[in-house]
């Protein structure tokens, strides 16, 4: 297996609703893959299954660790999966409150994740937290401030700093700019793009924003009613969509 993450034949139903139907995906090191599609098409469900947060009815997700060992995600114990999420992996939630500890300071949020990967030296942790606040354009003077007092955009940038500080190999992002003002979204997208490229992180990002997908992703996966109807290089899919649904999706963005 040369991919970092590989899923084959994923199926998952919620009662009569097929949320995932025979979905397969590969993510290579340093690659940004966007999952796009209309509301209810199964994007979030796919992200949750890939990240081990939800179990599929059938199909398999495999991850290759830095030593080359391959792990079947849904066969891993809870502790091992939690450890993976704390170290090699990251998850950026749409709502920063789901990814931050709101009663812990901004610096503490970043430091906590560093400590999970073995950092112990207080001075070095604080220096690194300061550096990361700067990288995500938060005034380092706010290091002891509580995230609850930050704006939505700042909270999201803090969540990104907390996630990326350990330089994970793979980050899952669920509509990271959703719920923010358009001007704030653009700035955040630029920041994510720069950080991800700089660190060479692989990303699986869910978005219904085609412009965001074009800006960030190397590859696109278009979902409709639980199925992947088209996938390929971002420019190819958006400039020359093959599936009727993708054509509609692209046309609706151009018309907006």
Q: Which residues contact 11 (CB under 8 A, 6 or more apart)?
A: 18, 20, 21, 22, 23, 56, 57, 58, 59
Q: Which residues contact 43 (CB under 8 A, 6 or more apart)?
A: 35, 36, 37, 206, 207, 208, 223
Long-range pairs of 123-129 with CB within 8 A, sequence gap ≥ 24? 128/165, 129/165
Nearer CB in complex with ligand ATP: 105/227: 227
CB of 96 to ligand ATP, least distance (A): 17
Nearer CB in complex with ligand ATP: 86/208: 208
CB of 56 to ligand ATP, least distance (A): 12
Q: Which residues contact 103 (CB under 8 A, 6 or more apart)?
A: 146
Nearer CB in complex with ligand ATP: 193/208: 208
Among 27, 45, 107, 153, interactor with ligand ATP by CB under 6 A: 45
37 touches ligand ATP by CB under 6 A: yes
246 touches ligand ATP by CB under 6 A: no
In the region spanning residues 5 to 24, those forming contacts with ligand ATP, defined by CB under 6 A, are: 14, 17, 19
Nearer CB in complex with ligand ATP: 39/183: 39
- d(Cα 37, Cα 229) in Å, to the nearest integer? 10
Tokens of 39: 């509301």
Q: Map residues 69-108 to x or -, x wherever contact with ligand ATP holds by CB under 6 A.
A: ----------------------------------------
- d(Cα 85, Cα 113) in Å, to the nearest integer? 10
Q: Which residues contact 15 (CB under 8 A, 6 or more apart)?
A: none
In the region spanning residues 195 to 214, those forming contacts with ligand ATP, defined by CB under 6 A, are: 208
Interface with ligand ATP (CB under 6 A): 14, 17, 19, 37, 39-45, 208
């Amino acid at each position: 297996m040369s991919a970092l993450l590989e899923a084959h034949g994923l199926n998952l139903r919620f009662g009569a609703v097929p949320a995932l139907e025979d979905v397969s995906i590969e993510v290579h090191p340093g690659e940004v893959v966007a999952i796009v599609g209309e509301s209810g098409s199964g994007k979030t469900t796919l992200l949750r299954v890939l990240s081990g947060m939800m179990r599929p009815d059938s199909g398999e997700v495999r991850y290759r660790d830095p030593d080359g060992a391959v792990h079947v995600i849904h066969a891993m114990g809870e502790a091992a999966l939690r450890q993976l999420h704390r170290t090699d992996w990251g998850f950026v939630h749409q709502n920063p409150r789901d990814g931050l500890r709101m009663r812990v300071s901004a610096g503490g949020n970043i430091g906590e994740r560093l400590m999970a990967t073995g950092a112990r030296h207080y001075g070095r942790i604080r220096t690194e937290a300061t550096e990361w606040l700067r990288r995500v354009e938060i005034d380092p003077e706010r290091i002891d401030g509580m995230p609850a007092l930050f704006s939505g955009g700042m909270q999201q940038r803090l969540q990104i700093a907390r996630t990326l500080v350990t330089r994970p190999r793979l980050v899952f992002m669920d509509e990271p700019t959703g719920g923010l003002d358009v001007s704030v979204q653009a700035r955040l997208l630029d920041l994510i793009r720069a950080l991800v490229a700089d660190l060479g992180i692989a990303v699986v990002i869910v978005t219904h924003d085609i412009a965001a997908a074009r800006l960030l992703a190397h590859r696109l996966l278009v979902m409709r009613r639980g199925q992947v109807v088209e996938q390929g290089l971002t420019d190819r899919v958006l400039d020359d969509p093959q599936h009727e649904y993708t054509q509609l999706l692209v046309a609706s963005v151009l018309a907006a």
